[in-house]
Chains A and B, each alone.
Chain A
């Protein structure tokens, strides 16, 4: 078992935290994990991305040419990284920031309205965790319990009062992905 995940957007969107939650969850599942960030000199507004690899075997490279999951949090990231989704992989797009459609043969593409879902939860900042939840819905990469535990550990370190809304965001994101997967499966059946 091995997943290579790339998360990209701009500084301030919580990109690096998404990756850390994933790596923490993988560690709690007793998997090998690496998290490697890449960002510009700006705190906010510059590009920010990170790669997370988790595996049941020792991990060599923390980066790859192709990823099993790409999460694109804005349009420049979609344009840059969508071609790097491996065949059979998943592309998760933050629909709130990306108005243009993207399709490719052989991969699953899901548009998740992260900002709207976060807004409905009463905390606009949790859009990143909504997207992280959508990963769990789109692909059974890790049990949701592990990511919930990671939220309690990592977010609980400094913002214990924000744990609950993040847990809700995680579930809402997962449900949004599951719903879209079901719909696209139904569309496929109807097309036949």
Chain B
């Protein structure tokens, strides 16, 4: 069951709703690209990197065809600054990359956050640190959720777990980015990017509906005030006030929590996992249930804002929580903060692109919580 605190998962405030198309076999990266098109992305700037290359490939076909902008930049640094410029002018702007490429974008992202601009960044995570490899990973949780660039800023972070959500979440990312005027990540990985699944993903798109914002720098027109987009405030008192404003925005965004629960009602142990890890964990939880062991699954869909309140409430009544991630233990820190000592929080992770089969997870989960 998907729990949302505000709106259903797939609403785009700008996109015109069209009837759901028939199911077809769709690759995760294709769904992500077409999700951006359906969400009304007006411009895409990017630089190639495996395992997300289908995203720019597909957008290089669709965006010009629909009269929108596709531009292959000379680097990731250029891409994110092009996003900065387009967002400042009030356009739905997006880039996509994979881990090392996202690292190159961190300075620009901090500027975008500082200038209070909305944009969407898709990260199809691969193994790191450094060049790592092209295999699946979730090693960029800290980077996306905790900052990555300099300064006190946050991004909305959405984590799809199947191809259908790869299509739906870009629209939500744009909506939330605009609602709070902050950057939004779609944080996914090499498995979801390269996987095929039946999904309802259209190949026809309604025309763009442009909505004027009063903060854009795209010509003053008849507006009474002048808009200047920047992130430089030399006076400490002024910057301090701006920072407080940002933090207040992030606190308001906390109401946008979305998560998915399976077999939670009578669960004694709650497995917490996001994205592809939650898929592997679901198989393990189902197998444990068949053995009579009462495990359940909570899958955060929003990693920022994090479903802390729900986890706190669960921590007071369960025997423990089991966090599983494809990294050395990143989201587990947020789960521990939410549990706040009310129950033990165990962690299991794999790095470097290794996917533990559900059979292995069953043994690990069961052993950690053996009576």
Q: What's the tally of chain A residues with a CB closer than 8 Å to chain B?
A: 19
Give min CB distance, B191 to chain A, whole Å: 6
**Chain B, range 327-371, C-beta contacts under 8 Å to A:** 355, 357-360
- Bound together, the chains give a CA A65 to CA B364 distance in angstroms of 14
In chain A, what residue has the closest Cβ to B286? A60
Among the listed stretches A27-35, A71-79, A181-189, which one makes contact with chain B, having 4 or more residues with CB under 8 Å of it? A27-35
Among the listed stretches B120-128, B232-240, B277-285, B307-315, which one makes contact with chain A, having 4 or more residues with CB under 8 Å of it? B277-285
Whether A27 contacts B198 by the Cβ 8 Å rule is: yes
Whether A66 contacts B25 by the Cβ 8 Å rule is: no
Whether B195 contacts A24 by the Cβ 8 Å rule is: no
Whether A62 contacts B359 by the Cβ 8 Å rule is: no
Which of A23, A60, A66 counts the most B-chain CB atoms under 10 A from its CB? A60
Give min CB distance, A20 to chain B, whole Å: 7
Whether B358 contacts A34 by the Cβ 8 Å rule is: no
B9 proximal to A (CB < 8 A): no
- Bound together, the chains give a CA A61 to CA B280 distance in angstroms of 4
Give min CB distance, B27 to chain A, whole Å: 9
Whether A61 contacts B279 by the Cβ 8 Å rule is: yes
Give min CB distance, A4 to chain B, whole Å: 10
Chain B binding surface, main DSSP class: helix
Whether A34 contacts B197 by the Cβ 8 Å rule is: yes
> CB-defined interface of A1-36 with B at 8 Å, one 1/0 digit per residue?
000000000000000000010011001000011111
Whether B196 contacts A61 by the Cβ 8 Å rule is: no
B72 proximal to A (CB < 8 A): no
- Bound together, the chains give a CA A9 to CA B61 distance in angstroms of 32
Which residues of chain B are within 8 angstroms of A23 by Cβ–Cβ distance? 25, 196
A121 proximal to B (CB < 8 A): no
Which residues of chain A are within 8 angstroms of B286 by Cβ–Cβ distance? 60
Whether A61 contacts B197 by the Cβ 8 Å rule is: no
A64 proximal to B (CB < 8 A): yes
Give min CB distance, B322 to chain A, whole Å: 15
Q: Which residues of A approach B to under 8 Å, CB–CB?
A: 20, 23-24, 27, 32-37, 58-66
9 residue pairs, one from A and one from B, having the closest CB atoms: A60-B283, A60-B282, A65-B357, A35-B196, A61-B283, A65-B359, A27-B198, A61-B280, A61-B358
Q: Which residues of B approach A to under 8 Å, CB–CB?
A: 23-25, 191, 194-198, 279-286, 355, 357-360
Apart from A34-B197, A59-B279, A61-B279, what are 8 other A-B pairs with CB-CB below 8 Å? A20-B25, A37-B194, A58-B282, A60-B285, A61-B283, A61-B357, A64-B357, A65-B360
